[in-house]
Amino acid sequence: MKEEGKRRIWSDYQKEIADDHFFYVRSCIRQSFFPGSETFFLNFMRNVLGKDVYENPSHTTCTGIGYHSDIVPLATIMTVVARHFALMKEAGYKNIAISCVTSFGIYTEILETWKHFPEELEKTREYLFKATGREFDIPENMAHTSDIIYKFRNEIAEKGKYRLINRLTGEPLNVVEHIGCHYAKMFPKSGVGGAEFPNVLAGMIDSWGGKVVDYPERRHCCGFGFRQYLVQANRGYSVSNTSKKFASMKPYKPDFILTNCPGCTMFMDKWQYTMKEMNGEVFGDNGESIPVLTYEELAGLVMGYNPWDLGIQYHMVQSEPLLRKLGIEYDPDDKFRTKDGRQMPVPENLINA
């Protein structure tokens, strides 16, 4: 493989990412399943980098889940998105930082629709005004939070305590990176590095000392897809797609998987448990499962934050093997304790624990 070839492609797909003054819109799923992620992002941006990240408590879900499940019609979701832009305008912000990849896909898709069909933009202005009395502007810059962490990856590398190197062997860790489909596949120009060789996560891994694994099914969808999993009978389709990816990455013995989409993280994590229970299959080395991390969780580990503060114990696949490889110290007793020391119930079927 020739790295210069990839670098040439990355330079073709340079994306403009804003520097400061972000209006932050949260993700529905990530707050429940990856509780440390958004907290880390805000903490890092505000306290470590001193940036201005503004949150408006009356921002709602983007309704992407509903839209992709055929429950929320296009006109509604356009109005909801317009309302967020109106909140941005009222607070004086022009840059939006989006936490979820599905959300990112929605915003990109809607902005493109408004560009090609200006009558839809006019209709949305009308709907929003009639419903809420609000007016909005189109944001100047739209970035996904993984783009922002990518932009500041060198600062994280500098301030970081740990490198992505296996302490036991001295070799860089093998990292599988997985990009959400709605990040760049829909509009390649909206993603850092385009659709075929995206660089947003690979850049982070490179900068933090790891080795990116390029395996045959790298581009394949993880199998998340609202219709696939909302209906129980369809979940076989979803888990089969995930299984295909895992079978393809297994020979490379990845140390962990890094993703930027909440759905992908959730599924690549949870379906490992499901496949283990269904037919005993595990895809990591030595009969282990592969820990799946969000980019904020990884950034947090690199910066030396307490793993339990980052919430990685709430994944299905436990990350202790990875923590040992990284040389990060953790207190096993503290894992399921609250901040003020009370013991929480310990889950039964932990994988990799």
Only segment of 17-25, 99-107, 244-252, 293-301 that touches other proteins (CB under 8 A): 244-252
How many angstroms separate the CA atoms of 219 and 178, rounded? 8
Find out whether 174 and 96 touch, Cβ atoms under 8 Å: no
How many angstroms separate the CA atoms of 122 and 27, rounded? 27
- Rounded to a whole number of angstroms, the minimum distance from the CB of residue 281 to other proteins is 9
Q: Examine residue 170 and tell whether it contacts other proteins (CB under 8 A).
A: no
Q: Examine residue 8 and tell whether it contacts other proteins (CB under 8 A).
A: yes
Only segment of 92-100, 112-120, 204-212, 213-221 that touches other proteins (CB under 8 A): 213-221
Q: Examine residue 275 and tell whether it contacts other proteins (CB under 8 A).
A: yes
Q: Examine residue 236 and tell whether it contacts other proteins (CB under 8 A).
A: yes
Q: Examine residue 287 and tell whether it contacts other proteins (CB under 8 A).
A: no
Written as six digits, the tokens of 352 are 């990799």
Instruction: Report 33-92 residues binding other proteins (CB under 8 A).
Output: none
Could you list the beta-strand ranges (E) of 61-105.
95-98
294 strand-pairing partners: 259
How many angstroms separate the CA atoms of 310 and 30, rounded? 12
Please pick, from the candidates 252, 314, 330, 336, the single residue that binds other proteins as defined by CB under 8 A: 252
Q: Examine residue 278 and tell whether it contacts other proteins (CB under 8 A).
A: yes
How many angstroms separate the CA atoms of 322 and 87, rounded? 41
175 strand-pairing partners: 212, 256
Contacts with other proteins, 179-198, as mask; x by CB under 8 A: ---------------xxxx-
β-strands 211-212, 141-144 pairing: unpaired
Q: Examine residue 216 and tell whether it contacts other proteins (CB under 8 A).
A: yes
Find out whether 47 and 32 touch, Cβ atoms under 8 Å: no
Instruction: Report 92-111 residues binding other proteins (CB under 8 A).
Output: none
Please pick, from the candidates 46, 75, 240, 346, the single residue that binds other proteins as defined by CB under 8 A: 240
Residues 6+ apart with CB under 8 A from 272: 246, 282, 283, 289, 290, 292, 316, 317, 351
* Residue 6 vs 324, nearer CB to other proteins: 6
Residue with tokens 């055929």: 70
Only segment of 236-244, 284-292, 318-326, 331-339 that touches other proteins (CB under 8 A): 236-244
Which has the closest alpha carbon to 311: 100, 101, 31, 102? 31
How many angstroms separate the CA atoms of 229 and 69, rounded? 10
Find out whether 77 and 6 touch, Cβ atoms under 8 Å: no
Q: Examine residue 20 and tell whether it contacts other proteins (CB under 8 A).
A: no
- Rounded to a whole number of angstroms, the minimum distance from the CB of residue 232 to other proteins is 5
Only segment of 23-31, 40-48, 226-234, 328-336 that touches other proteins (CB under 8 A): 226-234
Could you list the beta-strand ranges (E) of 265-351.
292-294
* Residue 90 vs 196, nearer CB to other proteins: 196
Q: Examine residue 277 and tell whether it contacts other proteins (CB under 8 A).
A: yes
- Residue count at the site for other proteins (CB under 8 A)? 35
Residues 6+ apart with CB under 8 A from 318: 291, 312, 350, 351, 352, 353
- Rounded to a whole number of angstroms, the minimum distance from the CB of residue 68 to other proteins is 20
Q: Examine residue 215 and tell whether it contacts other proteins (CB under 8 A).
A: yes
Please pick, from the candidates 20, 112, 171, 214, the single residue that binds other proteins as defined by CB under 8 A: 214
Query: Which residues of this chain interact with other proteins, rule CB under 8 A?
Result: 1-2, 4-6, 8-9, 194-197, 214-219, 232-237, 239-240, 243-244, 251-252, 274-275, 277-280
